[in-house]
């Protein structure tokens, strides 16, 4: 009965559309809408079916989809069809990404186009341009406080420049990733300004209250995201004379998705940027999309339904466009952003693997892989047509959201261990060479996170200052080892700009009043291109890191076992300092690669006679894919130097492929 109702409604809507446009212009649209409408209608009814304007709103939604499809450029429509034919295209080992702040990396969009050859030299073929939508000139949370969702910051260029960049990248076989901030707007957005002026329609776009009664009920269970700089979750707006929900910063107003008009507008914005040429859209703060009193208002079921509906609608208009879920939550929750009870992703195809990132840093500080191995055991298996975004550093802080049960399983006290990690990476622990800064310190709970550039956290800053060549060598090796892990783990590796040449902490943010209070700007550098040129000088730190990473990317692209088909098996190395896992391409016997990393300051041994490795290598024909050489063996044990790693394969088996 319900399916009959949705089909009847669809027919009514299509009849209305047929009077507005030529039916032939929408032939692919009609096919995709027919395939997805039942799911869209079901989800929309679940969220908004109780409203009197339900039919009016779903009709408006469908009309928006038709307009977005008509506006989609023909080259992107052809790309959609190609990707529908090869629907696992993004699971290939050929993709390697870089995330960057446009002004810090290239100045503006035209400058980025001029730097595309540099990215190709490294081997990067996916570029995530951090948020460039129009935002306030002052405090803007690094571009995540958007004042106009359909225009970009004039300092970055124009929307036409975005389209030109997308075309230039597609011509080079590269993917463009852009941000859409779906949880909130700037308080300078037109919707917020109208709400301030008393427009009830736009006040309903936000969580707005005349007094503290409801906000206080929310506050009983809501955590604080930025306790140092933005305590609490509500802000009094004097112009409006009301309280407004501001979970992140006081100038970021949370959108109210219980209002279907909000969903329709934000979906339209998502499709707008897909039509400008974005291959991948990073949906920011998706865990916060639905608010409920008595909860943390994170990871609510309705947030997942919103994402499912966005994905279904995108499948109608731009099926070649992927979604990244920016949800930095526990492993048991992050896995849900691919979609539950499904084989293929029905929410977001890609999700940040924040757990892996944080566990890697734990191994760096402890010099062992106990918690790293334990935490990966607890990482749920992803869906078949979904993948992780693996990274060592990003624009954000390093959170320590490990599962307490995993920490205890490694004989650590959770609170004391997290305290140790913060002290280690901020250089407070005796003997630590790290030079990070604490971030997000909550003096009520004692929680804290970590800010800092990869090279500075890995000890390169201190090593260069001391002139200790051994320490420099160890830091360079550690930087490459961390990248070796994200390049082989399974998923899309995402390099943070500047890390490819060992960029250190950038303290210039302290001179900017709008940034000085946010320690994360220490690892959001303004690239010194004269220093980058040192990558061409043999023996420099820049050359060693750049060429080492370039080699890793090239080997990755030619190693089918690194494609992401849930083909990773964690291996008990029999040595607490070594992290090891096996990668095997499901359709290529003999393609297995054993990844093994030593996080200790001394050489460690991998015993190939152990049961975990028996039958893996035939007659000791072992090759390190990175160097192309056979590693040192002692009594059939592989010697792994300090802070080093190997990608080990059966040389004889590979020669037969």
- Is 284 assigned a catalytic role? yes
Locate 148 and state its tokens.
């106009």
Three-state DSSP state, 592: coil
Residue among 108, 237, 268, 284 flagged as catalytic: 284
> For the chain, give me the number of helices (H) and strands (E)?
23, 25
Query: What's phi and psi for 20, nearest 5 deg?
Result: -95, -30
| Distance, CA of 321 to CA of 353 (rounded, Å) | 20
Residue among 254, 326, 406, 499 flagged as catalytic: 326
Name 272's Cβ contacts closer than 8 Å, sequence gap at least 6: 68, 149, 150
| Distance, CA of 196 to CA of 297 (rounded, Å) | 25
- The rounded Cα 377 to chain-centroid distance in angstroms is 21
Other beta carbons within 10 Å of 365 = 20
Three-state DSSP state, 72: coil
| Contact in structure between 574 and 613 (CB atoms under 8 Å) | no
- Is 326 assigned a catalytic role? yes
Three-state DSSP state, 86: coil
Query: What's phi and psi for 640, nearest 5 deg?
Result: -105, 115
Q: Return the half-sphere exposure (C-beta side, CA atoms, 13 A cut-off) of residue 374.
A: 19
| Distance, CA of 241 to CA of 198 (rounded, Å) | 9
- The rounded Cα 186 to chain-centroid distance in angstroms is 22
End-to-end CA distance of the chain: 55
What are the start-end ranges of the E strands in 440-567? 449-451, 492-496
- Which of the residues are catalytic? 284, 326
């Amino acid at each position: 009965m319900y399916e009959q109702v949705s089909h009847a409604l669809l027919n009514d809507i299509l009849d209305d559309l047929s009077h507005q446009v030529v039916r032939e212009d929408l032939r692919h649209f009609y096919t995709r809408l027919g395939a997805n409408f039942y799911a869209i209608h079901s989800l929309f009814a679940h969220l908004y079916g109780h409203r009197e304007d339900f039919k009016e709103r779903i009709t408006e939604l469908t009309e928006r989809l038709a307009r977005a499809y008509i506006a989609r450029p023909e080259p992107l429509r052809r790309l959609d069809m190609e990707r529908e034919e090869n629907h696992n295209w993004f699971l290939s080992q050929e993709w390697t990404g870089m995330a960057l702040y446009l002004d810090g990396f290239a100045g503006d969009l035209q400058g980025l186009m001029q730097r595309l050859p540099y990215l190709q030299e490294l081997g990067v073929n996916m570029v995530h341009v951090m948020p460039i939508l129009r935002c306030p000139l002052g405090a803007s949370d690094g571009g995540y406080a958007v004042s106009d969702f359909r225009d970009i910051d004039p300092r970055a260029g124009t929307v036409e420049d975005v389209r030109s960049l997308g075309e230039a990248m597609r011509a080079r076989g590269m993917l463009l990733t852009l941000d859409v901030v779906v949880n909130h707007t700037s308080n300078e957005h037109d919707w917020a300004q109208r709400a301030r002026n008393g427009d009830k329609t736009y006040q309903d776009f936000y969580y707005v209250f005349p007094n503290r009664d409801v906000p206080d009920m929310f506050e009983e269970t809501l955590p604080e995201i930025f306790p140092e700089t933005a305590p609490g979750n509500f802000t009094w707006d004097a112009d409006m004379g009301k309280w407004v929900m501001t979970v992140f910063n006081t100038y970021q107003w949370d959108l109210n998705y219980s209002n279907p008009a909000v969903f329709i507008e934000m979906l339209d914005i998502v499709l707008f940027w897909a039509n400008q040429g974005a291959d991948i859209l990073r949906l920011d703060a998706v865990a916060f999309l639905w608010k409920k009193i008595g909860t943390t208002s994170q990871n609510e079921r309705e947030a997942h339904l919103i994402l499912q509906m966005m994905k279904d609608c995108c499948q109608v208009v731009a099926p070649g466009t992927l979604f990244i879920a920016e949800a930095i939550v526990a492993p048991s929750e992050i896995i849900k952003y691919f979609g539950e009870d499904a084989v293929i992703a029905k929410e977001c195809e890609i999700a940040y693997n924040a757990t892996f990132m944080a566990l890697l840093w734990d191994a760096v500080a402890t010099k062992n892989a106990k918690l790293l191995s334990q935490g990966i055991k607890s990482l749920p298996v992803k869906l078949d047509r979904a993948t992780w975004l693996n990274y060592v550093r990003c624009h954000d802080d390093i959170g320590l959201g490990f599962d307490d049960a995993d920490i205890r399983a490694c004989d650590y006290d959770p609170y004391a261990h997290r305290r140790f990690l913060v002290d280690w990476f901020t250089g407070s622990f005796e003997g630590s060479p790290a030079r990070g800064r604490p971030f997000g310190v909550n003096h009520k709970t004692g929680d804290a996170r970590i800010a800092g550039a990869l090279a500075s956290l890995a000890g390169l800053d201190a090593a260069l200052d001391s002139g200790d060549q051994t320490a420099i060598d160890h830091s360079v090796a550690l930087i490459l080892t961390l990248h070796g892990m994200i390049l082989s783990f399974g998923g899309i590796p995402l390099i943070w700009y500047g890390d490819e040449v060992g960029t250190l902490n950038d303290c210039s943010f302290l001179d900017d009043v709008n940034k000085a209070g946010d320690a994360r700007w220490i690892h959001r550098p303004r690239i010194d291109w004269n220093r980058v040129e040192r990558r061409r000088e043999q023996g420099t730190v820049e050359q060693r890191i750049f060429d080492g990473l370039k080699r890793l990317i090239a080997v990755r692209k030619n190693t089918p076992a690194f494609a992401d088909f849930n083909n990773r098996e964690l291996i008990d190395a029999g040595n607490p300092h070594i992290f090891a896992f096996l990668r095997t391409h499901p359709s290529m016997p003999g393609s297995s690669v054993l990844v093994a990393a030593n996080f200790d300051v001394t050489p460690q041994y991998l015993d190939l006679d152990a049961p975990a490795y028996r039958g893996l290598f035939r007659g000791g024909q072992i090759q390190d894919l990175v160097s192309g050489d056979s590693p040192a063996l002692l009594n059939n044990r592989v010697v792994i130097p300090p802070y080093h790693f190997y990608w080990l394969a059966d040389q004889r088996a590979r020669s037969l492929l």
